[in-house]
Structure 1
Amino acid sequence: MTDTKTNITFGHSSLTIEQICQLAKGNATAKLNSAPEFKHKIDQGADFIKELLREDGVIYGVTTGYGDSVTTPVPVQDTHELPLHLTRFHGCGLGSIFSAEHTRAILATRLASLSQGYSGVSWSLLQQLELLLQKDILPRIPEEGSVGASGDLTPLSYVAAALIGEREVLYKGQTQPTEQVFKSLGIKPITLQPKEGLAIMNGTAVMTALACLAFQRADYLTQLCSRITSLCSIALQGNSAHFDELLFSVKPHPGQNQVAAWIRDDLNHYKHPRNSDRLQDRYSIRCAPHIIGALKDAMPWMRQTIETELNSANDNPIIDGAGQHVLHGGHFYGGHIAMVMDSMKTGIANLADLMDRQMALLVDSKFNNGLPNNLSAASEQRRPLNHGFKAVQIGVSAWTAEALKLTMPASVFSRSTECHNQDKVSMGTIAARDCLRILDLTEQVAAASLMAATQAVTLRIKQSQLDKSSLSDGVLSTLEQVFEHFELVSEDRPLEHELRHFVALIQEQHWSTYAN
């Protein structure tokens, strides 16, 4: 059987968010650029470090202690031990363990940065990172313990430890000692060269990896939320003129107008304009393009920022092997990713809040224009016993509230750490973790909303108040896809397993939305 995975080459050209996501999902293979000039560029940096050591040069983290200990000189004969100490004293992470998908993204993102050729690492270190990705040997990395400057030190220490055969890895679905896995596969642990512990750990790989994964999920949610809005508008017998092209031409935010166009096409606005008793629908329908569009319009800036960080050298010091310079700075600082994640999580939580308000309209017979209370599809005789989506709507409110609570920007909670050396830090990794949690919650809201909205449209068809043939191809496709996994709620039943299944399908981007 041939391997059909895509090869993604490191050290050749700029990488994209999509490529990191492919690697994270196990759908691609990492390969180092085999061109001699690339290997030469990497070797130049490592050779320059060796030359400086022979000349008794002073390099932060190579011939000095770390952080506030920068004033403590390290004898040249001990410099080979220093990176080992760095990896070990940072082995204090706590919290949940990053998933396999997250860990692959972290490995790929760190390899992307080191492949820029400005970190003074050896070719063998890059090969060892490449091997971990190729063999799917995943360091066991705790989520908590990074303030996002000096980079993701503590979580990345678990990557460094795996490279040298220490701590534990996830391999073939089991957590095992790294040494044991390496021995079984004939892999030799590397010995860290003087700057290599710092080069692996002193960067933004964790937060940037999570940002790549968050971006792809957020982008998909803008589309799914637009389709759910269309279903809600149809179910509520809304006014399709709210999405008219002329209306949106006078407020020309591109993302907002794209969302309005998606919904307008879904509603067959020009072919089958729907009449409504209300001149103006409530804001959660009428203003949906403005709410979803605010995030959609921010996505290009977010992509540019994430991909710039992804393709940057972001450790310290920077080693210019070709020009023979050691440049001490602060490229480990995760402020750009922190800003993106704090912004993205607010936009995503607004989608949850929008769908929560739409759900409230659908289930309430005072506002849903003639649909059954709680969208129950029970017969008239059985209706007093049945409660349809009543509890699901309560769940949606709970998930939304939790998402909204997490939108407090992490980046403003800088704490002075490490003897006031790291006295202003980014909190980018905390922001990224918050963003992923908000995505989880919003995807739960979307799963419930998709069920409820398709149930509502189907009830409207059953009431002979909607001609199924009038529906657009996109809306019909979604209805068909949903009911492959879901049965109309006629009699009350537990919906947990169906909701979990729908969340998983959303995370797999299963539901078709709009052609790009």
Structure 2
Amino acid sequence: MPADTTDSVSIVVDGRHPLMIEDVVAVARGTAVAQLSEAGDFLARIGRGADLVDRLIAEDGVVYGVSTGYGDSCTVAIPPALIHELPHHLYAYHGVGLGRFLDADETRAVLLARLVSLAQGSSGVSVALLRQLQALLRHDILPRIPAEGSVGASGDLTPLSYVAAVLCGEREVLHEGAVKPAAEALAAHGLQPLRLRPKEGLAIMNGTAVMTALACLAWQRADYLGRLATRITAFNVVASAGNAHHFDEALFAVKPHPGQQRVAARLRADLATARPSRNEQRLQDRYSLRCAPHVIGVLEDALPWLRTNIENELNSANDNPIIDGEAGMVLHGGHFYGGHIAFAMDSLKNLVANLADLLDRQMALLVDARYNHGLPANLSAARGERAALNHGLKALQISASAWTAEALKLTMPASVFSRSTECHNQDKVSMGTIAARDCLRVIELTEQVVAALLVTARQGMALRRAHEGSAKLSDDAEAMFLDLEARIPLVEEDRALDRDLHGLLAAIRDEAWRLYAG
């Protein structure tokens, strides 16, 4: 969806009002547009930083990346007549990215994350640069950004070089559904390629925009997966004729993790009208049902502090050097280091992979006639002599197990694999972008497991109700189950399920179901 949809909400970028993860997601999905502030104090603040850079050049001041080479070449002085060529060389020699290209949502998120950081007014860039970034978003001119090649310090140099190049009319973009030269897409909207001012190449590239953008998208998807795993657990408790009293409020009052308590409360609400008396229940269900709040609750409790780390990075100046136009100071440091994002993404992928593992275990119980308390093997709905011919969800369970195993395999922390690079100038790096990409892959695999479990829950609930006529769930849970019945025909005769799974994946990523208000 293009980012300049006429009925979109405007999100103002002014360096003073922090953006939230939801703002990034809205711009990425095209339901909101980024609007650069035109307030006089904002424009003056940006101008003071750019003016300071100009004064330092005129006074023959030594500023890293402005009048010196980059990285370990910081001791190499650039002849004054050549200073204006230096930004071009920075993005030119960093054009070495490989791997898949970031998709449209990811690319919009990257552009916004960089715009927000530069709008803090501490990067020495011009208003013209900020407006060109805004124009890329407004006209949905999306740089083709290779996903691989960043070690997360000095920021996302290689992937962000593709943003810098496009601002200057070079390399390729995705525009109006086609890959085309950047200069052609800019011209289509009356935009001229920029000539980067001193410090501007470094300001664009020497930051954490790629890892932070991916982290915002990952956080949103993980939050939804946690809620969806809770609803699926409620379905599976009913499908397995489980003990809904495992989620009693009094039980969870004595272990006061607030996220865990919220998950238990959601399960209680979903199951409130489907709870037979305690005398009619097994004493204890297996862990994948009984301990679901304890597994999902860890994610639920982690999400707030993960949000804090991600949003702090999003709303920060994270390049080097920092240009303080107010005080007339140039501060050399290491704000491009993405350690907070690396830790957040390494943590989040672990939490999400545990959702996949939890649901995979629930599925294993439901398809196994030894443990599903009276349901047919593999949840096949075939009857009579055709029951022997049909295999139900047998292969789906194998695939879900494969996706779970791959997700679990990717939980090795990326941040511990720091490398010494660039002639030992970058001798301790964050690996934040690799961690974020790993996290998104774990989320993708977990979404596939969730899709498989939606089929499983739909099948199991229908079979249980046909067998026992079990009570209804909460109104919201019941509405979702009826929606699943409409989306997925009951599996009576064996059929390929890949189309159903793709449809469910799209629904998951579109957040198609209402899942708990609080």
Range into which the TM-score falls when normalised by the shorter chain: over 0.9
Matches of 2:469 and 2:246, distance apart in 1: 19
Tell me the residue number matched to 2:227. Answer: 223
Tell me the residue number matched to 1:443. Answer: 447
Tell me the residue number matched to 1:466. Answer: 469
2:71 counterpart letter in structure 1: G
2:6 counterpart letter in structure 1: D
Q: From 344, 368, 371, give the equivalent of 2:372.
A: 368
1:330-479 matched pairs, under 5 angstroms: 330-463=334-467, 465-468=468-471, 470-479=472-481
**Residue 167 of structure 2 is aligned to residue 172 of structure 1:** no
1:467 counterpart letter in structure 2: S
Tell me the residue number matched to 1:198. Answer: 202
Q: Contact 1:241–1:269 at 8 Å: present in 2 too?
A: no
Tell me the residue number matched to 2:160. Answer: 156
1:164-220 CA distance string (max 9 Å, x none):
000001000111001122223221011100000000000000000000000000000
Q: Contact 1:228–1:453 at 8 Å: present in 2 too?
A: yes
1:426-459 CA distance string (max 9 Å, x none):
0000000000000000000001101111210111
**Residue 315 of structure 2 is aligned to residue 311 of structure 1:** yes
Task: Specify the SS of the correspondent of 1:60.
Answer: coil
Q: TM-score, normalised by structure 2?
A: 0.98
Tell me the residue number matched to 1:8. Answer: 11
Tell me the residue number matched to 1:81. Answer: 85
Q: Contact 1:8–1:29 at 8 Å: present in 2 too?
A: yes
Tell me the residue number matched to 1:249. Answer: 253
Matches of 1:275 and 1:391, distance apart in 2: 36
Q: Residue 158 of structure 1: CA displacement?
A: 0.2
Matches of 1:218 and 1:161, distance apart in 2: 32
Identity of counterpart residues, as a percentage? 60
Q: Residue 466 of structure 1: CA displacement?
A: 3.0
1:387-425 CA distance string (max 9 Å, x none):
000000000000000000000000000010000000000
Which 4+ residue blocks in structure 1 deviate beyond 6 angstroms?
none
Q: TM-score, normalised by structure 1?
A: 0.98
Tell me the residue number matched to 2:39. Answer: 35
Q: Contact 2:113–2:209 at 8 Å: present in 1 too?
A: yes
Q: Residue 381 of structure 1: CA displacement?
A: 2.1
Q: CA RMSD in A?
A: 1.3
1:385 counterpart letter in structure 2: L
Q: Residue 365 of structure 1: CA displacement?
A: 0.2
Task: Specify the SS of the correspondent of 1:80.
Answer: helix
Gaps spanning 5+ residues in structure 2: where? none
Task: Specify the SS of the correspondent of 1:484.
Answer: helix
Task: Specify the SS of the correspondent of 2:486.
Answer: coil
**Residue 501 of structure 2 is aligned to residue 512 of structure 1:** no
Task: Specify the SS of the correspondent of 2:263.
Answer: helix
Gaps spanning 5+ residues in structure 1: where? none
Q: From 296, 300, 303, give the equivalent of 1:296.
A: 300
Q: Contact 1:237–1:274 at 8 Å: present in 2 too?
A: no
Aligned residues: 514
Tell me the residue number matched to 1:484. Answer: 486
Matches of 2:114 and 2:320, distance apart in 1: 14
* Change in CA separation of 1:100 and 1:211 when aligned onto 2, cut-off 3 Å: same
Q: From 277, 282, 285, give the equivalent of 1:278.
A: 282
